[in-house]
Structure 1
């Protein structure tokens, strides 16, 4: 079976498609991922075959033209990818609020408990963040629990440092010391590292603190890790409503340990959903 995946120029949205792409490939199907010329290298890093659609101006026409030439049996597209001019299945993810109106069938990697309502069929989320190398420091057994800190807004570092200083855990942040704002004192239990790949670190974490990264939020939920989102997002708010996280001030850090039961329940819900390989069987039928 020939399957064409259409990806917008967003690594997070592409990564939501990759587990299905690999499930299709390992089942023996011919898979190609189409995207803009500027995004081709990102697609190639997934190990899949890329289709160069040119620029933003030519993207939609090029996708429809290639679909007509190659004649895929199935087209799977992200919610923001252009239509291919043929029947399209949409695969929604943590960056999508609701299903688009132009789909024939939709699947969703966000579990039902984290959606207000959706006509999409659920499929298990498999976290993917691209190629990573397990760093040397992560190959050694930790002397205490680890907390992953992921901040794009470094101005939040001060309040976070104040909140985690009393936590009996090693707080790992992949950043350079020069990015820490002047006048902010880093507590001794915060460790700065060159890289802290979530794919390698999340299974060993007791909590995650981030500033609204939706992909990281769903990955943490998949691993049953309590989390604090310092910025309010739709998925962060729903994880908090489920009881597996908090949203808002860094002062909520002290509450994360009490959320492990709900976080485990959310993990179990996700694990019980159909895996991408089961979606492959449905698409084949």
Structure 2
């Protein structure tokens, strides 16, 4: 079976496609991922075959006719689109292929002309499924190397700290300074505002690959990163977000996380040791684990 995947120029949305892509390839199907020229290297980094759409007018994938042109040449039986790549459905219609849409943490279910929509976000974190069929989320953050320091067992609870806004580090550092935990932060002192004090229990590292790190953690602190939030839920980790969002609000409603723009030390201790939060996070993890794996979706598409 030939399967063409349409990836918008969004690393997070591409990464959501990868587990299904690998499942299809492992099952013996011919799989290609199409994207804009500027995004080809990102596609190649996933270990899959990339199709350069050579869209000279620099239109977005959602508006491009190049995908349909390639589909007419290659004749796929299935076309899979990320949540924001509706051109995939148009390409599928042009070659009488099955049109499939795959939603992720950055998407909300909505009306679609696709034949089938799958959703990697569990029902507990959706206001409504919109008719989407569930598929298990498999966290993927790209190629990573397990650093030497991560091969040693942590001596105390480990917390992943991932922030995109440098101004947020100071308040979080103040809160975690008195907490008995090892806080891992992928940043350097030059990334912090002047006058920021890094506590002794905060470890600054060049990189903190979530795929390697999350299984060793007791909790996650972030600033609303939906992709990381869904990965933390998959690993059954309580999480604290400094910024509210739709998905994060649902994590909190599920009893698996907290939202607080100015966390105190006591709140972070509760995040690490709180039984109710951990129970909620484990329930969310078990819900995700019970969903059909990508290989089951691949087999279903083949049928």
TM-score range (shorter-chain normalised) is over 0.9
**Deviating more after overlay: 27-36 vs 87-96:** 87-96
* Alignment-derived partner of residue 90 in structure 1: 101
Inter-partner Cα distance in structure 2 for 1:120 and 1:176: 42
In the alignment, what sits opposite 2:31? 31
2:296 corresponds to which of 257, 278, 281: 278
Q: Which residue in 2 is equivalent to 1:77?
A: 81
Matched, 1:212 2:224: yes
2-structure distance, mates of 1:54, 1:216: 32
What runs of 5+ residues in structure 2 fail to find an aligned partner? 93-97
Q: After superposition, what is the alpha-carbon deviation per residue over 1:138-189, rounded to whole angstroms, capped at 9, x for unaligned?
A: 0111111110000110101111011111211100001111111112211110
Aligned to 1:54: 54
C-alpha displacement of 1:194: 0.6
8 Å contact kept, 1:79–1:99: no
* Secondary structure of the corresponding residue to residue 172 of structure 1: strand
Segment of structure 1 superposing worse, 90-99 or 48-57: 48-57
The residue aligned with 1:269 is 287
Q: Which moved more, 1:123-132 or 1:245-254?
A: 245-254
In the alignment, is the contact (CA less than 8 A) between 1:97 and 1:234 conserved in 2?
Answer: no
Does residue 254 in structure 1 map to residue 272 in structure 2?
no
| 1:9 alignment counterpart | 9
Distance 2:60 2:164 in 1: 32
Corresponding position of 2:206: 194
Give the structure-2-normalised TM-score.
Answer: 0.92
Q: Over aligned residues, Cα RMSD in angstroms? A: 1.2
Aligned to 2:176: 164
- When structure 1 is superposed on structure 2, of 242-251 and 118-127 the one drifting more is 242-251
The alpha-carbon deviation at position 58 of structure 1 amounts to 7.5
**Alpha-carbon distance in 1 for matches of 2:14, 2:22:** 12
1:150 aligns with 2:162: yes
Structure 1 residue 265, shift from structure 2 partner: 0.8
In the alignment, is residue 22 of structure 1 matched against residue 22 of structure 2? yes
Match of 2:95 in 1: none
Q: Which residue of 241, 247, 252 maps to 1:235?
A: 247
Change in CA separation of 1:131 and 1:100 when aligned onto 2, cut-off 3 Å: farther
Structure 1 gap ranges (5+): none
What are the Cα deviations for residues 28-87 of structure 1, in whole angstroms up to 9, with x where unaligned? 000000000000000000000000012432742110011111111100000111423224
SS of 1:103's equivalent?
coil
Secondary structure (helix, strand or coil) at the match of 1:50 reads strand
Bigger Cα displacement from structure 2, 133-142 vs 53-62: 53-62
Secondary structure (helix, strand or coil) at the match of 2:139 reads: coil
Conserved? CA contact 2:53–2:66, under 8 Å: yes
What is the correspondence of 1:73-152 to structure 2 with a 5 Å cutoff? Answer: 73-84=77-88, 85=90, 86=92, 87-118=98-129, 119-152=131-164
Contact 2:238 2:278 in 1 (8 A): yes
Q: 1 CA distance for matches of 2:196 and 2:49?
A: 46
Q: What is the TM-score when the length of structure 1 is the normalising length? A: 0.97
